[in-house]
Amino acid sequence: MQDFPGCALALGLALALPLLGLLAAPYIRKYFAGGKCTSTAKLNGKVVVITGANTGIGKETAKDLAGRGARVILACRDMEKAEAAANEIRTKTGNQQVIAKKLDLADTKSIREFAENFQEEEKELHILINNAGVMMCPYSKTVDGFEMQFGVNHLGPFLLTFLLIECLKQSAPSRIVNVSSLGHRRGSIHFENLQGEKSYNGNKAYCNSKLASILFTRELARRLQGTRVTANALHPGSIVSELGRHLTILIFLGKLLTFFLKTPQEGAQTSVYCAVAEELESVSGKYFSDCKPAYVWPQGCDDETAKKLWDVSCELLGIQWD
């Protein structure tokens, strides 16, 4: 009987801990859900382009902005999925101004055709969200011969923004939102191995491409001073999405750790915040996470590297952007 108190305590804890876990679960889940955009801004009469908007946070961002009254163009590679997403968003929001258009960021011809068609059909562009991307894929090349992650995550958005920049300026105040990643902290820009010419690691290439996105945003914002066009970057958080579809381990971990990951709707909150928050109207060149300013690792603040990357990107794409 001397052991009875200890056994009773153990039994009590065994019964109480699951109950405590159930009670605490909503609070834990709220913590991992991150920040939420609380702006009630309406976007009636505004035109928005979102790349990769047929799934994940891109689709949720499109749904939110369509619900605010914007004319939203889903710029996507897979037109079947894009049309399905557009139809779903139109049905859920009641906004019939949600349109799917073909855009393959791994093909500069497709990017140019999209931009040309856009300017023929639309008079204004108020918000450009460079959301589409690939993550940790095996080594491969774009149609134009660029390393896939560098090409889709950096050069594609760079060219698209270049082709639409005059429209953004003429529609000012307007915003450019680049979806980057906390992964930029592990990135580095080595111009002699910019596209994995000497060595390639999928994870490292992804981080490098997201660092390039941060540097592009920084230099773009500097060049846009005085135009009333802003450019900001963001980290959406760790999300349950298709982005890690190239790695079996990421798919497995995603299923295992779903409780601790953001849903696509939660992951879209910072994209929405950067696109609509009234307090950001004149804020440019910044980096956000969970709907608030976030820390940028030192390599993301290197102005000289940002300028050189800009010049190299122009050279690779065969454009002149002064």
- The catalytic residue among 27, 206, 287, 295 is 206
Residue 299: partners with Cβ closer than 8 Å, 6 or more residues away: 184, 187, 188, 189, 211, 305
d(CA 201, CA 180): 19
Encoded tokens for 292 = 């608030």
d(CA 156, CA 160): 6
Active site residue 206: yes
Encoded tokens for 10 = 């153990």
d(CA 293, CA 288): 4
State the first-to-last Cα distance of the chain, in angstroms, to the nearest integer. Answer: 85
CB-CB contact of 173 with 200 (8 Å): no
Burial of 69 (0-12, 13-18, 19+ CB in 10 A): middle
d(CA 91, CA 147): 38
Is the link from the previous residue into 173 a cis peptide, with omega within 30 of 0? Answer: yes
H helix runs in 40-78, sequence order = 56-67
Encoded tokens for 106 = 């791994």
Catalytic residue IDs? 206
